[in-house]
Amino acid sequence: MTDDAISQRGLRRTSAMTAVSQDRDHTKIAVKLDPLARRLVGTTHGDMDFDAPYMTEVADNLWQGGCVSGLLLPAFIAHVVSLYPWESYEVKHDLASFREVRMYDDAMQPLDEVVPALAAWVNHCRETGPTLVHCQAGLNRSGVVVAYALMLDGLSADEAIARIRGRRSPAAICNPQFERWLRKSQQLAGHGEDERRTLRDGQVRTLAGEVP
């Protein structure tokens, strides 16, 4: 093999390794799974310890949780919204819907262009069956989407955050940017019932690709 061939092969390998590294979640935290107790244990970016079930029901047909690859998805879950494509559940039953969106748990994550439509989609799914919104640990990314879904249902930001922290974990929505965004967005989510329904239906159609 010539020196040029060796050099080109090395460049291709370096490029491939760079592509893989760029596809990793730089906001990932260390999480241990106890398969017997089915709990996620770890420490958040803000140094808050947490110990929570891998899934928690926070409202009717609305589940919030984390994910570890290979973990079996309970058969009663009809819809899944994954905010963490780096790991996935093992699914052995037919889902009514599955939607995957890449989100990061940091201050650079855009929320305005992602969360309202996702939350509207989640509430749409809940009308036909149990819906799981999951990220890595089930704290911040899934927390901000679930909280906004609850706000579209009429809860205030304070009530939605308190509900999630009380039922899921005190460490939920510990990302200060996510918490500030929820409080700032309260006026938009808190319109009257008719306006919320119109807003929700429009966002669902947009997310489903029915309108440009």
- On whether residue 18 sits in a domain, the answer given is no
Q: How far apart are CA 118 and CA 137, in angstroms?
A: 19
Q: What is the pLDDT, as a whole number, of residue 208?
A: 58
Domain presence at residue 110: yes
For residue 31, being part of any structural domain is answered with no
Q: Which of 4-8, 53-57, 204-208 has the lowest mean pLDDT?
A: 4-8
CB 166, CB 116: distance < 8 Å: no
Q: Is residue 16 part of a domain?
A: no
The total number of structural domains in the chain stands at: 1
Name the percent of the chain lying above pLDDT 90: 57
What is the model's pLDDT at position 77? Answer: 95
Q: Is residue 163 part of a domain?
A: yes
Is position 172 within any domain? yes
The pTM assigned to this predicted structure is 0.76
CATH of the domain at 148: 3.90.190.10
Q: Running DSSP on this structure, what letter comes out for residue 74?
A: P
Q: Which domain holds residue 156?
A: 55-207
Asked whether residue 69 is domain-assigned, the answer is: yes
Higher pLDDT among residues 36 and 48, named by residue: 48
CA dihedral angle for residue 65, residue 147, residue 209, residue 134, rounded to 10 degrees: -10
Q: Which residues pair with 55 in a beta bridge?
A: 65
